[in-house]
Structure 1
């Protein structure tokens, strides 16, 4: 082994998962500057250790490539970390009490913002009403996002600020729910949320900076070293702030790689300018993203045929197939990867149709387009992922966020066989890439790994389509090398190999040697990004 210089950092453990094999093995890793310069036995790496080398010697804690979250929303997630989380509420009254406690504890915040309520888990399973929030906050606006993020519950003050009343018409691809008297109920769906976030998300630069600092800390403590920040509808337009991210990079404070996916809307001139502006190793535009449909629970996901519990309603696409195809063909020709939110089988088919047409018009190229979520797929579309070179971008824990009976009542038992068909897609040759859709789910990768290998449903006991389980090694690869491939960085990220960038996570246990349930308890002991330690658990297994 040719030793040209001493290492800055050396890591060793009895359990090193490089991503190149199916099991971890004993190994040591030498890092100089921001790259891995050697991997071998402890004896082989010993000569790389000098007086200035930081040595981390572990027993059987798992050393692995850093997690690469393939789908999340940076600033929306940043905001959620300092908002009220309502996922554990089991009634409207309990949710209101949680909001009241949060509001009283944060009197300085002009808006009370919350996330993750889900009435399908409540006793009556009825959607909440603005009046229950009005009783505790008559003069302070409240905005609470449903667990899936595609509809929200607000109070009368929020509606007043946004100028929404009984005479307000529904926007295109949006609904203002109204009662039998024609008055808004406080439930706003899809693009009907935007008039409210226009005010709720009007934050100062100082506040955005604080929020983003919280996000960086959260990513580091979970061993997340790269993320893909996807356009998250127009309601986020006041919140998203690419220049802020660039400022952090310029100041040397960006402790996670961020791959930006701004909106696909036909404005290629703007997209190309953004691609030129953000083009570094740590902050770059990697493609474009758009929505085709909504979600199952609100019946805004686009199905092929009616919802099982509401004949005649099949959801619909936000844009026409002609419009989407025109945008994709132009973007593909300009070298952009395109990513479509597509949850229902109709939306998934539309996405694949646009990618197929781009191939016909532009020729076959290594586009690495992707379909996001892929929740309910028609079986005839499964082989098209391999045929078209399309990535299946999935978040396994999502099928346990929604109450299973409510979900299956919406889609019916025939479609139920093709919910989150991860194994079937993989076996059909689709490339998998995992993420969280944070803040729709926690940034913690362990929840996605657990759900992918167990398929335990929302009840915590039953297994949903056990044949769709994948192995732990396959799940980790989808969360590391799969995501690296999806962002055209498999040559430098996603596996532990000599010459690759030193983005590494050390977990507090060997995931391959514990029960599936114990995976949920696993935490990061050490996180390294670009060769620098960005998180170190003081109670970890560090040895001098």
Structure 2
């Protein structure tokens, strides 16, 4: 007796992740599992009067998109903030901020994201003074596109008790002018002095924001996310919020949690025991090694080309990373490091190698996040050490290419976002967005990975580093499943696997690359349940 399906999805273009091209197929789903894949005729044996049948013609069915790197609560705030990415001058940014503030007269704080002075006509960092002109009485914090520094006004500095006498926090800087007064630019952990008060949301506000995030994720075909530790995060409260949604059966996607690696192994183990369900689980631990290239906070092996007095810096010492990684690795944790500069990447690889020497080799699946500028001597080490390359390909088009290249110089520029080279060594690749650093839509990352179109929108940045569409889709599905030890349940469309599935409005394999950015999600399914539907064809 053939098991009856609750839902059958059919299409002429099904990308299972097992092949490199789509196939014509139908997928039968019962409860939360795929019970059969075959022809429409073969599916008749699994059909009864209660089976819902969807026929998507030539629209692409894929495994659900799994974002390997984002920050949920920061993203929740972003969805209700002013997006300054399109500003091409400080004046234009100020106009957008003022219009947004006027539209939200009751909001106590004005919060914004995505500005980048590298794209502005002057290419100069803004100050609190210009912001004061449009917002003299309401506090504002506006995060740079890379989230590693922020622009604030005088009111925000006043509320955070930041003045000329305030000392820099560890791994942070309150920028000051020639007279010793704060300019309104806060770097790295100095931003926490303001976010501690600007992001003080009520439980009701948080629930509303998280609901909005879940809906948004479903609408762009995202079925699983990795929520990585960030300095502004209130980990315990956020995890409790997610758990409340799970308890009410309202957690509509999978959330893999990566709390802070900080030497407190007892706390990490407690969190791992507490959050271990199919929808909400602690997968490992995360920490920062360095910052980012444009403000020169990424840690380099050699000085910056345009500022020979600095190589950037690390959040903690090499010895501290060795100690923390070795302890956590011994307890079976996967560890992920934010490492952007070639010095930081080497430091992360060295720490993972040290753990292998001390604890022995195991299936650890540690990862390095971003991997932007790598030294050629370290390329093979990812595969040798079994370290996952966690990348966000659209990021290399988010920074102005000329500014980025000026920082690192021509020689190091050859080793920027070398996705294909790393993949060819046998290293595992996993994609994400770093939302809200970038938009949550997976199409942007996929488009950038296969075209390598740079920030100009015309030129290709290292064409030899392009990867195929099939490889990009696998990096967004099977790659993150492997990175969360769930490749036996998720990441491909196979009988026995969980029905986390996305349907797009076009076959990406059949359209010009430019059209990929415009692709929309038609249907999103998590655990066999349709959580988003847009103009689906249902019989």
Q: Distance in 1 between matches of 2:236 and 2:495?
A: 39
Aligned to 2:246: 249
- How do residues 201-212 of structure 1 correspond to structure 2 at under 5 angstroms? 201-212=199-210
Aligned to 2:345: 348
Pairwise CA RMSD? 0.9
- How do residues 327-366 of structure 1 correspond to structure 2 at under 5 angstroms? 327-366=324-363
Query: Is residue 2:256 matched to residue 1:259?
Result: yes
- How do residues 96-111 of structure 1 correspond to structure 2 at under 5 angstroms? 96-111=94-109
State the 1:237 CA deviation.
2.5
CA contact (8 A) 1:201 1:239 kept: no
1:267-298, Cα deviation, whole Å (9 max, x unpaired): 01100010011000000000000000000001
Query: Is residue 2:525 matched to residue 1:543?
Result: no
* TM score, norm. by length of structure 2: 0.99
CA contact (8 A) 1:165 1:183 kept: yes
Aligned to 1:374: 371
1:427-448, Cα deviation, whole Å (9 max, x unpaired): 0111000000000000000000
CA contact (8 A) 2:235 2:259 kept: no
State the 1:167 CA deviation.
1.0
Q: Distance in 1 between matches of 2:103 and 2:48?
A: 51
Unmatched segments (≥5 aa) in structure 1: none
Query: Is residue 2:226 matched to residue 1:231?
Result: no
CA contact (8 A) 1:13 1:59 kept: yes
Aligned to 1:427: 424
User: CA distance change for structure 1 residues 224 and 392 in 2, over 3 Å: closer, same or farther?
Assistant: same
State the 1:240 CA deviation.
5.8
State the 1:133 CA deviation.
1.1
Q: Distance in 2 between matches of 1:457 and 1:399?
A: 7
CA contact (8 A) 1:141 1:156 kept: yes
State the 1:239 CA deviation.
9.5
Q: Distance in 2 between matches of 1:25 and 1:502?
A: 18
Secondary structure (helix, strand or coil) at the match of 1:412 reads helix
* TM score, norm. by length of structure 1: 0.98
Equivalent residue in structure 2 for 1:478, among 457, 467, 475? 475
Q: Distance in 2 between matches of 1:109 and 1:171?
A: 28
Q: Which moved more, 1:287-296 or 1:310-319?
A: 310-319
Q: Distance in 1 between matches of 2:443 and 2:44?
A: 33
Q: Distance in 2 between matches of 1:41 and 1:444?
A: 31
Q: Distance in 1 between matches of 2:56 and 2:172?
A: 53
Q: Distance in 1 between matches of 2:235 and 2:375?
A: 36
Q: Distance in 1 between matches of 2:188 and 2:251?
A: 32
Q: Hey, which bits of structure 1, 4+ residues long, moved more than 6 A?
A: none
User: CA distance change for structure 1 residues 238 and 28 in 2, over 3 Å: closer, same or farther?
Assistant: closer
| Matched residues, number | 539
Secondary structure (helix, strand or coil) at the match of 2:241 reads helix
State the 1:364 CA deviation.
0.4
Q: Distance in 2 between matches of 1:279 and 1:426?
A: 31
Equivalent residue in structure 2 for 1:326, among 323, 326, 336? 323
